Each structure stands twice: as C-alpha cells, then as structure tokens.
Structure 1
Amino acid sequence: MDSLVTRWMARQQQQGYHLCLMLEGSHEASQPLLAGRDLSRYCKLYSETDAAQLASSGPLILLLEQMNEPALIDLLQHPESNWGWLFSLSAADLAGATRHWRDRLLVGPTGQRALYRIHDNRTLARALLHLSKEHWPVYLGPLVSVCYWHEGRWHQSENPAPGDYSAPDPAPWLDTPNPQAEAILHANILRYLLAEHSEDLAALVEFQDPKVWLSQILEQARTWQWRSPEQLAFLVVRRLEGTIRSSVIHWPPRAGETPEVHFDRVVEQWHREVGNGE
C-alpha cells in the first residue's frame, strides 16, 4: 500500500478527524463493507433525491472505523480501478456531508438534468485542479481533507475553510474541462448510429472510416458553433443520410447568419426536401 495514503489516514486520526469513504455503489467492495454496518455509519447518496430510483446501485458514503477491514485494504491496494476517494470530517456525522453532495448532485435545466459524478476520483481531481483555492470551500463543504488517486499516484488536498455552504449558481466546477469528453462523445454517437441508423452506417463503412467521418462532422459543428444535443443530432444524422444518398441541402452558413439562424434555415430546408420527396 502506498505510504502517502497510510500517512494521510494516520495524520487525520491523530488530529481527531473521522475518516470516510466515497465509494462507487456498484463496486464489488460495497457488499462486504456494508455487511454488519449500522445504518448511521453509511448512506446511499442518491436516496432522498430525484435520482432515488438509482440509490441501490448508486454511490455510498461510509464512516471508517476499522482500518483493517479486508475490503478497504483491497481498495487501497488497487486505486487504479477508480473506485472513489477518501475524506475526513471533524465529527462522526455523515448528515452534513451527505446534504452537501446531494445539493450538488443534479446539474442542468429541469427536464434535462444529469448526475454529477462526484464519486469518481477523476472528477474530484480535475475539479480541484481547475478551481481556484477560493472556490475549494464551497466545493468541498464540511470535508476537512481529501485523499484521492490521480494520474498514477495518490494526492491529498486540504480544505482551507470547512463549513456549510450553499451551492452557487452557476457552479464553477461544472466548467471543469474533461480530457475524455471528445472520446466519450464520439463513442456515444457511434453507438447511437449503430442502434438507430445501422443500415446507413454500414453503407458508410464501405467507402469511409466512420470514426474519421465523425471527426470531420464534429469539427464542422465546432466551426458553426452548433453545440446543443438537438443541433449535433440533426447534423450527424442528416449528414450521414446525405453522404449515402444525394441531397440538395445547402449546409454552409450564409453571410451574416448567426449559428441559430443558420441551424433553423438548414432544418427548414431539410423539411422541404423531405416533403418534396414524398
């Protein structure tokens, strides 16, 4: 086990703090760690939120009392599996930490809300690297210190002012760049095309690499400033159709067109073409 994490744990205990574990709920360690644990010593993060239906498989917050639990030792010996992270509290009470993260859990407008993956150590690490130190307290709330695995080694960060803070709107940590965002977007789009437009995708494969084609389409979206899911879906699907079959749509923007006017004009043109073809 890495000496940094063991030193961090020992130091937190020496200072009278209580150790806690933020754990991915579907991890195999969750069952042995929950077995025999009193309900006051852990909580399911998604419970009592709009994501309550996912609570049984969602992330867990646990108070750690026995550092020799086999499941905990195994986690610490295999941090590269990105199972979560460790933190300390000034009191052995999970209520404040749970409330803090639940207030920051759901992001985005009503109807399009998504879950913020705070249980992922990579999410935590990227946010702390991105945020200025003045924003750390409102991000970490009552957490005194955190210890997490990132880029091949353990790191620790101290909260400059632990306390109870309201979630700001907009939250600065939601602007944290994700180096995997482009790869994730590519994979999700290709999965969608395979499921919903498999014949056109198969036809494309015969004369072009779909990954190369998709990279070109997404570069076009960036150039045109088409960023919304609706705009991306329309561009990808209709350009795929146009690549396989003839199309008379004038795709490039015209002089003076804003991204919104450009998009609306192309959609209207596509509807006219579809209507004329029927």
Structure 2
Amino acid sequence: METLPDRWMAQQQQAGRRVCLILDGNGDARQPLMAARTLSQYASFYSDTAVAELASVGPVIVLLEQLDEPALVDLLRQPDLNWGWLGSLPDDDLACVVRHWRERLLVGPDGSRVLYRFDDNRTLARALAHLPNERWPQYLGPLISVCYWHEDRWCQAHNPAPGDYPLPVPAPWLDTPNARAAAILHANILRFLLTAHSENLAALVEFQDPRIWLKQVLEQARAWQWHGVQQLEFLVVHRLMEATQGSVIQWQPLRGETPIDHFERTVEQWRKSGEQP
C-alpha cells in the first residue's frame, strides 16, 4: 500500500526537485546509504564545525535517487525509531542546506553551547507546530518541502518561501515547548508535593484532580515568565495553600511590572501577611 512518504517523494521528483534524507548518526542505514554514493551526494553536518570530532556519529544529508532503495525502505517501515526526516531541494547542490543548518547547530552562550538536534523528526515537528507559517522560511531555509513522522502518523509541510536566510537573533524555534520536559516537570512537582505537602495535597484531591490543578498553575507560571526553581516552588506551594486553606494573595502582575519585580512583590506580600496578628 502506498504511504504518504511514497506519494510525497514521487510528487517532489515529478516537480523536478531533488529528494534528500536528513539522517541521524546512529542508525544502521548510515553506512550502506553513504557507501552507495559519491562524495557529492552526501555530507556531514558536523564536519568543519566546532563539533567536527563528532562528525563520524553525527547527522548526515543524503541525496536520494531510487525511492525503492533497500536501506531507505527499511527506514520508512520503522518511523517510530525517530531516525530523521525527508526534504526536497531545487537541485543537487547540498552546500546551501548544509550551511543553513550549520548556522543553527550550536545554541547558547559561549562556554556552555549545546547542540540543536534539528535532525530529530520530533524536534522538527515541534518547531513547525510552534512557529507561525511566516517564520518557516527562516527555519527551513532552502528546503522546499519536508516529510516527517510525528507521534503516530506521517506529516508534510511546505516552505512558503524557500531561500537563504540569516539566523534570526533570538531564534524563535528555541522557545518551542518540549512536551517531554513539561511532563517530567509536572511529575517531579507532584512528587515533591506528595512528600513535602501531603496533607494539603490530600485535601485538594477531595474536590479537584491535582493533575488538572497543577497544569493550570504551570500555565500561569509560563504566562508570568516565572521559570526559576524558587519561583515555581513558591507559586505551586502557595497556590496549594490558597486552594486548601483559604489564604489569599494578590497574584496578578501590576501594569508595567517585570517578571522579577512581580515575583519579589508577591513574596513580600506573603511575608507581610504572615506577620499580621
């Protein structure tokens, strides 16, 4: 049975485009795909960068000719391995797309830079879901279209204006929510409340699902830009006290108040309320 990747690749070739594979560096398909090609038909994204020593295990881009190539077919049969994604280019020159992603490869301040895993289909999917359509060209660059596995299905997305774009500062895709990180944070906070504030948590259970309550509290934290551990602990603990003991804090920020000023004012308000007889 024909799948979305089969149709997508055929459509791209029929439109005169070159199909490429963005492949992570750890899959079994890497060596057979590269061995069957000349040096101009594949490239390592990590070569000639600050992480060049990782080139042999880092992601590569591979031009595809035969869509029934065994190594490719095997990959398409196992999308849940999250091995990468497919893209299309106007020609067989890989230099433009390699340069594009190398410019977006390392993120963070000097001395503590980390790799941006653009080769992971989950990273690509989250970024495209988060970015408004008009920002896709800055993210996808020269890629005309992409095809990728997301959660339990194949997806495709089309770049509205393929081309060469400078790296925006700040890069908007770095603010993409990480669903797994959010789930871990959620679980850790519930575990903390169960250990340190079990009585209040038990009282909350009597009239509200703690998971739903915590989701609402964390959404408030995001809206107020309270991201620090101290800020989150204060908000969660005192919201729980408010819900179960009737204590009241004026939480809403004042007009023009920065997130830091908002937090410090709220803490001071709580301290003063505790000093009242």
The answer as to 2:8 corresponding to 1:8 is yes
> Which residue is equivalent to 1:88?
88
Query: Hey, what's the Cα distance between the residues in 2 that align with 1:130 and 1:153?
Result: 18
Residue 166 of structure 1 aligns to which amino acid in structure 2? P
TM-score after normalising by structure 2:
0.69
> Which residue is equivalent to 2:211?
none
Matches within 5 A, 1:1-278: 3-183=3-183, 213=195, 227=227
Residue 14 of structure 2 aligns to which amino acid in structure 1? Q
Query: Hey, what's the Cα distance between the residues in 1 that align with 2:105 and 2:20?
Result: 18
Residue 113 of structure 1 aligns to which amino acid in structure 2? R
Query: Hey, what's the Cα distance between the residues in 2 that align with 1:87 and 1:170?
Result: 25
* Structure 1 residues 122-169: Cα deviation after superposition (integer angstroms, max 9, x where no partner): 111111111111101111000000000112111111100100000100
Query: Hey, what's the Cα distance between the residues in 2 that align with 1:168 and 1:91?
Result: 25
Structure 2 counterpart SS, 1:8: helix
Query: Hey, what's the Cα distance between the residues in 1 that align with 2:98 and 2:92?
Result: 12
Structure 1 counterpart SS, 2:157: strand
Residue 46 of structure 1 aligns to which amino acid in structure 2? Y
* Structure 1 residues 46-82: Cα deviation after superposition (integer angstroms, max 9, x where no partner): 1111111211111111111121211100001111111
- Deviation of the 1:183 alpha carbon: 4.5
- Deviation of the 1:182 alpha carbon: 3.4
* Structure 1 residues 81-106: Cα deviation after superposition (integer angstroms, max 9, x where no partner): 11100000001011000000000111
Query: Hey, what's the Cα distance between the residues in 2 that align with 1:177 and 1:4?
Result: 27
- Deviation of the 1:215 alpha carbon: 11
Query: Hey, what's the Cα distance between the residues in 2 that align with 1:175 and 1:2?
Result: 36
Residue 92 of structure 2 aligns to which amino acid in structure 1? A
Residue 142 of structure 2 aligns to which amino acid in structure 1? P
Residue 124 of structure 1 aligns to which amino acid in structure 2? L
Q: Is the 8 A contact 1:226 1:259 kept in 2?
A: no
Query: Hey, what's the Cα distance between the residues in 2 that align with 1:174 and 1:70?
Result: 35
TM-score after normalising by structure 1:
0.69
Query: Hey, what's the Cα distance between the residues in 2 that align with 1:213 and 1:51?
Result: 42
Query: Hey, what's the Cα distance between the residues in 2 that align with 1:112 and 1:261?
Result: 29
- Deviation of the 1:261 alpha carbon: 8.4
Residue 10 of structure 2 aligns to which amino acid in structure 1? A
Q: Is the 8 A contact 1:85 1:146 kept in 2?
A: yes
Task: Work out the number of aligned pairs and report it.
Answer: 225
Assess, with a 3 A threshold, how the Cα gap between structure 1 residues 169 and 71 changes in structure 2: closer, same or farther.
Answer: same
Structure 1 counterpart SS, 2:5: helix
- Deviation of the 1:214 alpha carbon: 9.7
Structure 1 counterpart SS, 2:147: strand
- Deviation of the 1:258 alpha carbon: 5.9
Assess, with a 3 A threshold, how the Cα gap between structure 1 residues 48 and 153 changes in structure 2: closer, same or farther.
Answer: same
- Deviation of the 1:210 alpha carbon: 7.8
Please list every run of 5 or more consecutive structure 1 residues that lacks an aligned counterpart in the other structure. 190-208, 236-256, 263-278
- Deviation of the 1:27 alpha carbon: 0.8
Assess, with a 3 A threshold, how the Cα gap between structure 1 residues 106 and 184 changes in structure 2: closer, same or farther.
Answer: farther
Query: Hey, what's the Cα distance between the residues in 1 that align with 2:83 and 2:68?
Result: 18
Assess, with a 3 A threshold, how the Cα gap between structure 1 residues 213 and 45 changes in structure 2: closer, same or farther.
Answer: farther
Residue 48 of structure 2 aligns to which amino acid in structure 1? E
Q: Is the 8 A contact 1:186 1:214 kept in 2?
A: no
Residue 91 of structure 2 aligns to which amino acid in structure 1? A
Assess, with a 3 A threshold, how the Cα gap between structure 1 residues 79 and 214 changes in structure 2: closer, same or farther.
Answer: farther
- Deviation of the 1:2 alpha carbon: 5.0
